[in-house]
Structure 1
Amino acid sequence: MTAADDLDTITERWTTLQERAGTRPTTTWPPAMGITRLLTEEERAAQAAERADTNPDAPGPRPAPVDVNVLDVMTTIETGLITAADWLASRVQRPAFKAPTGHGWSDDVHRAAVLLAAKDAADPRRWQYTGQRTAPDAAEWLALRLRDQPGPFRKLDEAERQAVAEVAAAGAELIRKTLGDARRREAVPHPCPPCGGQLVVEGGDGAPPVLLCEDCGRTWTEAPSDAA
């Protein structure tokens, strides 16, 4: 997959990310699986008390109406892309033409120059440093620059391509992880029951999660629930 493909992924999946951010989180990572059986009695009692607290008037923090974690991801991606677009435009985007001053509109040559300058400055292919700038806008503009599409720009050198590629890869990976397209691996804060080794859980890419011990190699998977 190329850097331009990574940018396309961001553009195409941004709406899905926005929809995910507007919903209450329904799952957690890593998945609980059978790990709760390894908890102490005090931890199990605390979890039971937390689940039982369903009264909206009860003291304590309430779940946010949006998924704050997804919003943080979106902010990170958008900031990175817009910063990259600002930086790249400052290097490769040609300044707009300047029309000479001091001539009236009766001067045909001057009038044509003013109109040409205004058209060049308003070229929609230009990256704008002000106004509404979104992650999809920046991703699309950066992808077009990587593909050497025509416009008031010079071609990117290899260092510029590499810098954009790094931002694109990081953003696309964050989206894949957030939307469950990328496999993840995370340590579990409970020892392996048979050997006391380090437990890790792998999953998050749509495949069933797996709990495994890095020391003895034992693995656990969730048993499929019986159909009603």
Structure 2
Amino acid sequence: MQHTARPARIAADDLRVVLDHWQHMRDLIDTARPRTGAEYLRALDAHDAAEAALDRAAAAPEREHLVLAEQPAPLRLHVVDACRAVEVTLCSLADEIAAEVQRSPITPPRRAVAGDAAALDLELLAMRDAADERRWRYNLSEQRTAPRAAEWLLARLHDEAGPFLPLDEAQRARIGRIAREAARRIERTVGIEQRRAYPMDDRPCPWCGATLTMHRGGSDADAVTCENGYDCGAPVPVVEGRRTWAAPHELVALEQALAAAEQRRKRAEARRRQRAAARAA
């Protein structure tokens, strides 16, 4: 079950999960607590080297106790993998969005002319613009972290001032999809995954036109509910006062009904435009 857009406030909530729980993820790794993507990779290399040493020790039992004594504590590799996946994904997303909305730095004058106040002002302006902390940095490794990417994307969702164009709906939807997956990966890893409700404001119920809500996360399977309950004529059960699509075949049928309703809406819109054009003619 998919839908194309979610309200920005939900995407913002997902990015805040990254900000609020990133330290928890790092704390779960081991006492070394790697801090950057490069350090995660070095930690994995160290773990592989430790495993190789243990394999060699198995072939020489008389030295096994010496080799074991030299090995670091084992990493919780599933946590390392989760950290690395979230960090790479969010930084890559920030790269993509910045390439589309971030204004290029002001170009300083090519040649400085002694006594030219305007050229000096332009040079100072260019330096300040290039050093603007609000900019996303493609190559500054110490700033390419999951929290920094989440903060930057959150600022774009909120249309905060800076050298940026506003996000369009497709960019907001892209951030929402990736932020949701990053948040769910973190929640699963640190054991705080919760059930969430996502209003499907852009896709009303095909049977009654009321608001549909997607319910995801936690231990239960995905489900969709219609707020009209018994007043909705959808062919699914009413659960706790709401029509509820929960079984896989019900969700498939709902997706098909939503697609058909969208097609009807587009055809009706096309007919309205044709009538308006005919009246204008």
TM bucket (normalised to shorter chain) is 0.5 to 0.7
- Residue 101 of structure 1 and its aligned partner are, at CA, apart by 1.8
Aligned to 1:150: 161
- Residue 96 of structure 1 and its aligned partner are, at CA, apart by 0.8
Question: C-alpha separation between the residues in 1 aligned to 2:114 and 2:78?
Answer: 56
- Relative distance call for 1:59 and 1:97 in structure 2 (3 A) is closer
1:174 aligns to 2:185 (yes or no): yes
Does the Cα contact within 8 Å between 1:89 and 1:127 map onto a contact in 2?
yes
1:14 aligns to 2:25 (yes or no): no
- Residue 110 of structure 1 and its aligned partner are, at CA, apart by 0.6
How many residues are paired up? 155
1:123 aligns to 2:132 (yes or no): yes
Task: Find 1:67's aligned residue among 76, 86, 101.
Answer: 76
User: 1:65-104 maps to which residues of 2 (within 5 A)?
Assistant: 65-104=74-113
SS of structure 1 residue aligned to 2:89:
helix
TM-score, scaled relative to structure 1: 0.62
Question: C-alpha separation between the residues in 2 aligned to 1:183 and 1:172?
Answer: 11
Question: Which amino acid is the alignment partner of residue 179 of structure 2?
Answer: A
Question: C-alpha separation between the residues in 2 aligned to 1:102 and 1:63?
Answer: 56
SS of structure 2 residue aligned to 1:102:
coil
Question: C-alpha separation between the residues in 1 aligned to 2:79 and 2:23?
Answer: 12
1:111 aligns to 2:120 (yes or no): yes
Question: C-alpha separation between the residues in 1 aligned to 2:11 and 2:174?
Answer: 10
Does the Cα contact within 8 Å between 1:23 and 1:65 map onto a contact in 2?
no
Instruction: Specify every segment of 5 or more residues in structure 1 that has no aligned partner in the other structure, as ranges.
Output: 25-55, 185-201, 204-228
Please list every run of at least 4 consecutive aligned residues from structure 1 whose deviation after the TM superposition is greater than 6 angstroms.
none
Aligned to 2:13: 5
Aligned to 1:29: none
- Residue 8 of structure 1 and its aligned partner are, at CA, apart by 1.0
Does the Cα contact within 8 Å between 1:23 and 1:66 map onto a contact in 2?
no
Question: Which amino acid is the alignment partner of residue 76 of structure 1?
Answer: A
TM-score, scaled relative to structure 2: 0.51
Aligned to 2:247: none
Question: C-alpha separation between the residues in 1 aligned to 2:190 and 2:73?
Answer: 19
- Residue 58 of structure 1 and its aligned partner are, at CA, apart by 10
- Residue 105 of structure 1 and its aligned partner are, at CA, apart by 4.4
Task: Find 1:57's aligned residue among 56, 65, 87.
Answer: 65
Q: Deviation digits for residues 38-96 of structure 1, max 9, x if unmatched?
A: xxxxxxxxxxxxxxxxxx83999x99522111000000000100000000000000111
- Relative distance call for 1:12 and 1:183 in structure 2 (3 A) is closer
Question: C-alpha separation between the residues in 2 aligned to 1:82 and 1:121?
Answer: 20
- Relative distance call for 1:164 and 1:183 in structure 2 (3 A) is closer
SS of structure 2 residue aligned to 1:66:
coil
- Residue 23 of structure 1 and its aligned partner are, at CA, apart by 5.5
Question: C-alpha separation between the residues in 1 aligned to 2:16 and 2:98?
Answer: 19
Identical columns (%) = 38
Instruction: Specify every segment of 5 or more residues in structure 2 that has no aligned partner in the other structure, as ranges.
Output: 1-8, 33-63, 196-217, 220-281
Question: Which amino acid is the alignment partner of residue 105 of structure 2?
Answer: A
Question: C-alpha separation between the residues in 1 aligned to 2:135 and 2:177?
Answer: 22
Does the Cα contact within 8 Å between 1:7 and 1:139 map onto a contact in 2?
yes
How much is the aligned-residue C-alpha RMSD, in angstroms? Answer: 2.8
Question: Which amino acid is the alignment partner of residue 20 of structure 1?
Answer: L
